[in-house]
Structure 1
């Protein structure tokens, strides 16, 4: 299939009217919809925006390729847009995007459609082709240009495929690579082409395997893996890793395969990479992209999968409390059947599942799917027997490592029983051993620890409570969604499940302050921030109000020395004030939307506001005004 069978005159916009990223997405989505390519415009747009949340599809060099694969697409199609002036699209190189291809792939798209779309992504790596697209006068010129470039690309691919059949020329050694992105449409193939082109330029032999929507192509052979100097894995989804056991492997996000191809190839040629050791648990390395390993990686797997239950169930509980704190109880005078329904759904089921789900996904992170059932059963035992959140954590790690032990023990069994291991042996012995240890050794001691901690917190004097609030609030701003933040949040959830609602009030206040404080600072101290930062500041009002601390991360990354201390101080103040005001919060999530179920809503709001203002004032004092050029722009904007 040719690219021009997907891109037609009625989906081409020669001169975009858009001035911003949201506007250009809307304009291209509307173009596809008007041309009759979509079933549901809003659902398709949601899919596009969800893809952008993973990382921007503004890949640099003036190109953006927003794309989505969804049932909202009626007919697989392409939309083209061009902006001579350029649009700020959060591109990887920081430059404006001029050329836009919006890819609409249907959920059941045929392989030939997906191959065509991946071909376009590769063609856009050609600088001369991009220049011609910028110079084209009409939609007909665009289509003609794409047809010619596609013919040249296919001819070059035939030559390359013939070369691949022969032994790769190894002037400077052989490098292997695997590329993969979540949708498998654009970045997978762009990274592959960037690596191949750069390797050819450098005189380095390379073979690249792509894991795209149409499956694995150019699969690496065992003999190539054996003699490779190193393997580059540029991927944002799971790929087969066990085959790289004992080899030097460089693991990076797929975008680095596009933008840092020369650096990666140089590292591979020099052997500048850690030796990979497969854990046997999954096809992922035990080290994630951020360099975190072991305990934290497994814990975060459990926490991230638990959060939907916490958020959904917690907010339903909060809404229930709006009818009255005891309105769900049929024996209470304030009883309301709607409140009972909400509590049954949110508290009796969704919120109840959080500990088993936490444990199950910790176990799965450690031992892959066989670890899920034993760990989840262990988590259920903890939830039903008073061991609470701490018991759930122990169950998750216990279930996972019990299965790891079983895998080693059963490894000596005959090959004929390999098929029954995951469906019979692992679940049977895993659940039995995990359950027995939980009942006999874990539940009672952990239950005693929980009661002791609860009694200690209840007996705290005001000064000690304020200090605890200070620490918990500050922790929420240290790494804004990282391990310290999650440790504080996890502690708050544990206290809610134990019936102590003071700590989580401080934790939620501390988590709301960084984005709110930054938002206030960008509004009051405008000359301290760039235009883009001031626009992002508006979004932070919403993120802060929704208890999404991560809204502050871009600001912290850009200026950590000033932003992080300001956020920590403001969050610590807010946390301390909630304890001083004796605020309790029975809902684990919801931000401003659950403030009025606290015992002192106005005092709680005051604590958050004071903490946010403290952060904003510190930023105003610590941050320097933007450069003179930006100040001049600011003057023009305000006129």
Structure 2
């Protein structure tokens, strides 16, 4: 196996700038210069994107930036001892020891195990002290290779952790995933019934460094507290699940994870805390104490069958939980994200039906589909546009699309409930969504019904049911009771008032003309650009698609709103693409590459194409995008452009009436936003730095990888549907 680190990859007592991004770029350059990466820029962009998600500084003046990238051709370690230290986000101050881990996208488990073992070694105080005392690069390489067990004559000492580190069991299988701390009777943590026991699961997005460091930190902290800790690392080098009997015997659970915990149902009924993986490194003793406090509290948090990993998402810091507003935003975005495929596919099929069969096809499609076939083509219906074949194929496409669109409210409600209560919430959510449709409560009814179904299902799932009944809870009891309660309330109490509100809103929109319509278009345009795929953007988009099926030749207002939302959403990525073409010197290399992709993303109505630009420079990119998108929205609405398709941008031209006006509005907004962002970048200071003149350093490099999944979410994503929306 080729060496992971060489003397050429070690820099001692160097000044690599005052920003973490500058240090990462310097280290990526070292990897590329040694022929271990095809592109320093791509490697740096990947590592910086990872750093922006979660800072990699850890206590003790250490930072471990890391990334997996297709640019890496050989797994590598780069070490820098910095003078002065640089802030990497650790609570106790800047880092003077920085190890960058660069792994190929398809790195084998053997290499990943070694990289993970190095990360774990960095929690050992004697190893870190030796690195700080090293006099030359050769000494650093020797220390690292000894810690990795690559030097047989010193492997024994490398495998023996110091007193303050994890117990030997933690080092037995560095690439594995189960760590145990021995118990101690010296701290008073033992109870009359024996020592306290905690199980932990750690995971980070890349699964290389933080996953294993958090596990080792928790195991070591447990040893110091006299608490038996067993940790499961869900990382890149493999996962061995904790034995069921160990979980059963545990007093509490610590989830230190930035990603979904696999098979979380194993821990149902256990007291728990959930935090980001970095909190497991920063405050492991505090987490163990907090988990045991949850166990001692009869009203403490318990893992239930109805809780998803996303529902447990925490804020920042140790033990933090998401606020009520963040929780509401997340579950609503979950519902919208799962709803969009029904709408996108259904809307495009309906538009195709109109193209093939004519606008009258909506009146005849059901009769044509049920009463005809390719061997018995229709001839007796209205305007058949492209003839009997076109009428039949158009009717089929329209009916498929119409049925898909019929799931809009039900899927929205169902997946909002899923976001709250996991799988047990889906059936009650879909049911109450269907009731909302029957009652005429529409989009608003779906949201309210989904929230109601989800919280009822979550409450039922949190009840301490007898063991013999637990198996029936998620598949029978929860769906039955939650459906009865939420749908019953929708029928008897909520449906009527919400239906009246929805009807009034639709009538108001249908009556809008002239200046009032332009104002609405302006507002919708601003909403589409203000957070680029986030909750405000999704509210505007959902508002548009919810009314799409109600549009008609006699009532084009819903189609006008859809065209407005789509046109405005195309402006931000197109504007960034144009700006990078007009004045490339004010953008980083990564942004220039992203600008090339943004042409296609913008044309296809994927607003998230502008996220890499907004992530590195939000105070200039977002205002510029908002202005241009607002102008486009106002123009599109004022020109009465309509779209029968909910998605697709210029590629669904056949579903857009007044297509030239549609393009004109987009072009005007794009030019305005592009010019405005260039003016702001050239003449407006950023973060108190010197004014930009087109020749100064470009904003921090970023890449499309900075776009969250779902939660912009972080978002996860909340942008988990970026490829759709």
Q: How far apart, in 1, do the equivalents of 2:568 and 2:359 lie? A: 28
Q: Residues of 1 paired with 2:231 and 2:347: CA distance?
A: 44
Call closer, same or farther: CA 1:180–1:493 in 2, change over 3 Å. Answer: farther
Relative to structure 1, the CA distance from residue 633 to residue 621 in structure 2 (aligned partners, 3 Å threshold; closer, same or farther) is closer
| TM-fit CA distance, 1:462 | 0.9
1:602 aligns with 2:627: no
* Counterpart-to-counterpart distance in 2, 1:422 and 1:533: 47
Partners of 1:184 and 1:211 within 8 A in 2: no
Cα distance in 1, alignment partners of residues 260 and 531 from structure 2: 25
In structure 2, what is the equivalent of residue 214 of structure 1? 239
Indicate the RMSD between aligned Cα atoms, in angstroms.
Answer: 5.2
Write the mapping of 1:580-599 to structure 2, written as runs, cut at 5 A: 580-599=638-657
Residues 532 and 444 of structure 1: CA distance in aligned 2, closer, same or farther (over 3 Å): same
Partner of 1:486 in structure 2? Answer: 538
TM-score by length of 1: 0.70
Cα distance change on mapping 1:440 and 1:98 into 2, 3 Å? closer
Q: Hey, what does 1:387 align to over in structure 2?
A: 441
Structure 1 residue 611 displacement after superposition: 1.0
Give runs of aligned pairs for residues 17-416 of structure 1, distance below 5 A: 18-19=38-39, 61=64, 63-65=66-68, 80-81=74-75, 99-103=102-106, 119-125=113-119, 145=150, 159-161=168-170, 164-167=181-184, 178-181=200-203, 186=208, 189-192=211-214, 195=217, 207=229, 209-212=231-234, 213-217=238-242, 233-238=256-261, 239=264, 245=271, 249=273, 251-252=275-276, 254=277, 256=278, 261-262=281-282, 264=283, 277-278=301-302, 280=304, 281-282=306-307, 284=309, 286=311, 288-289=313-314, 291=322, 292-323=325-356, 325-326=358-359, 328=361, 329=365, 330=368, 331=381, 332-334=383-385, 336=390, 337-345=392-400, 347-384=401-438, 386-404=440-458, 406=460, 411=463, 416=468
Give the conservation status (yes or no) of the 8 Å contact 2:74–2:103. Answer: yes
Structure 2: distance between partners of 1:383 and 1:459: 23
Structure (1/2) with the larger helix percentage: 1
Contact 1:99 1:134 in 2 (8 A): no
Q: CA deviation at 1:515?
A: 1.7
1:323 counterpart SS class: helix
* 1:536 paired to 2:594: yes
1:427 equivalenced with 2:479 (yes/no)? yes
CA deviation string 1:323-372 (max 9, x = no partner): 36438545332151433333333x13333223222111112223332222
Distance 1:427 1:616, change over 3 A: same
Question: TM (normalized to structure 2)?
Answer: 0.63
What is the CA deviation profile of residues 555-594 of structure 1, one whole-angstrom value per residue up to 9, with x for unaligned ones?
2233232222111111111110111110111211222222
Q: Is the 8 A contact 1:563 1:619 kept in 2?
A: yes
Count the aligned residue pairs.
558
| 1:208 CA drift (Å) | 6.5
| Aligned partners of 1:118 and 1:189 also within 8 Å | no
Among 451, 475, 478, which residue is 2:503 paired with? 451
- Greater Cα offset, 13-22 or 578-587: 13-22
Distance 1:412 1:206 in 2: 26
Residue 405 of structure 1 and its aligned partner are, at CA, apart by 5.5
Report which stretch shifted further, 178-187 or 127-136: 127-136
Unaligned runs of 5+ in 1: 5-12, 26-47, 68-77, 87-91, 106-113, 137-142, 635-639
Alignment partners' CA distance in 1, 2:311 and 2:468: 29
- Secondary structure of 1:498's counterpart equals coil
Q: Which has the higher contact order (CA 8 A, sep 6+)?
A: 2
- Report which stretch shifted further, 156-165 or 551-560: 156-165
Describe the shift of the 1:371–1:221 C-alpha distance in structure 2 as closer, same or farther (beyond 3 A): closer
